[in-house]
Amino acid sequence: MNIVKLGNISGKHQKILHKCMQLGLSRITKKSTPVQTRLFFDSFIQRLDAGYNTFDIDRHKLVGPDRNCAEWLMKCGATIKFEGHNNHILEYNALPSSNFDKYKIEEIDLTDSTVMLKGFPHLHNCKHVKKIIIHNCKYLCDSCIAYLPELKSTLEHLQISSCRYITSEGLIPITELVNLKKLIIYDLPHLEEKHKKPLLDLLKDALPKCDTELIKQ
- pLDDT of residue 76 exceeding 70, the answer is yes
What is the chain's length?
217
Residue 201 neighbours by CB distance under 10 Å: 10
Output the pTM of the full model.
0.82
| DSSP code, position 66 | H
pLDDT at 216: 77
Least confident of 9-18, 109-118, 143-152: 9-18
The CATH number of the domain covering residues in 57-215: 3.80.10.10
Residue range 122-134, pLDDT digits in tens: 999 999 999 999 9
Give CATH 3.80.10.10 domain extents, the chain. Answer: 57-215
In the predicted model, what is the mean pLDDT of residues 195-205?
Answer: 96
Dihedral-angle region of residue 60 (phi above 0 means left; psi in -120 to 50 means alpha; beta otherwise):
alpha
- pLDDT of residue 52 exceeding 70, the answer is yes
| DSSP code, position 135 | E
In the predicted model, what is the mean pLDDT of residues 82-97?
Answer: 96
pLDDT at 87: 96
Mean pLDDT across the chain, nearest whole number? Answer: 87
In the predicted model, what is the mean pLDDT of residues 200-209?
Answer: 97
pLDDT at 42: 59
Q: 29: pLDDT confidence band, cut at 50, 70 and 90?
A: low
Least confident of 10-14, 31-35, 138-142: 10-14
pLDDT at 25: 54
Q: Residues with Cβ < 8 Å from 184, sequence gap 6 or more?
A: 158, 159, 160, 161, 213, 215
Least confident of 46-60, 63-77, 168-182: 46-60
pLDDT at 19: 55
Q: 49: pLDDT confidence band, cut at 50, 70 and 90?
A: confident
In the predicted model, what is the mean pLDDT of residues 31-51?
Answer: 65
